[in-house]
A and B are shown apart, each in its own frame.
Chain A
């Protein structure tokens, strides 16, 4: 069975601060990894994804994530956050040959103070 842990439930930052949200997963095989974001009052939407190749993945709005296989991690980063990044962020994983059964982490609520 696969599982995902997001250790930070709530994060508060000031604008221009750097962001790193942790995501660790457990799964014995090859994985696909995702970060989704939910802005206040909006749908869940994809921020970035990793399937294979370069473990450093760049997504929308200046976000990036690094897949470190040895650490079973896929942390999300942004060098300088903006007030508009206030949202809830979800890490998700599915096994490469397990169909599209996403397993989500519990989410991290990010508040960016102007």
Chain B
């Protein structure tokens, strides 16, 4: 248990559905991250938030829309996804978005797009 929780743990959705992934951290951190882990590909950073402000968008398609209402919560809103978006989506947090900060990861949401 790292102090970072994600819900749901598994999600199956159609290409026309709208769903949201939720991440919550209980560590008092100020930076939060979304990563995508696909089969046979390295873990890819998607978004970075620092003190609720988005500081990085790693060329992610607009069908993925992040939201960070406060430093403890991070959402990833999904709409009109493609089958190739099926992957494990990991949330992480760190004290700040500085390069020497360890990131703490959640268990991930396994997403399947039909």
Q: Does A22 contact B (CB under 8 A)?
A: no
- Residues on A lying within 8 angstroms of B by beta carbon are 4, 32, 34, 36, 42-46, 49, 51, 90, 92, 94-107
**With A and B bound together, what is the CA distance between A43 and B102 in angstroms?**
14
Residues of B within 8 A of A95 (CB): 99
Given that A44-B90, A99-B97, A100-B31 are known contacts, is A106 also in contact with B2, CB under 8 Å in the complex?
no
**With A and B bound together, what is the CA distance between A106 and B90 in angstroms?**
15
Q: Does B66 contact A (CB under 8 A)?
A: no
Given that A43-B106, A45-B2, A45-B105 are known contacts, is A98 also in contact with B43, CB under 8 Å in the complex?
no
Residues of A within 8 A of B44 (CB): 104
CB distance from B70 to the nearest CB of A (A): 19
* Cβ-defined contact, B41 with A100, below 8 A: no
Per the CB 8 Å criterion, the residue count for chain B at the interface is 29
When the two chains form the complex, which single residue of B43, B100, B105 contacts A32, counting CB atoms closer than 8 Å?
Answer: B100
A94-B99, A99-B98 known, 13 other contacts, Cβ within 8 Å = A43-B4, A43-B105, A46-B102, A92-B43, A98-B99, A99-B99, A100-B48, A100-B98, A100-B103, A102-B103, A103-B42, A105-B42, A107-B42
CB distance from B48 to the nearest CB of A (A): 7
**With A and B bound together, what is the CA distance between A61 and B46 in angstroms?**
31
**With A and B bound together, what is the CA distance between A45 and B4 in angstroms?**
12
Given that A90-B43, A107-B42 are known contacts, is A97 also in contact with B99, CB under 8 Å in the complex?
yes
CB distance from B87 to the nearest CB of A (A): 14
CB distance from B101 to the nearest CB of A (A): 6
Residues of B within 8 A of A4 (CB): 42
**With A and B bound together, what is the CA distance between A43 and B91 in angstroms?**
10
CB distance from B35 to the nearest CB of A (A): 8
Q: Which residue of A lies closest to B108 (CB)?
A: A43
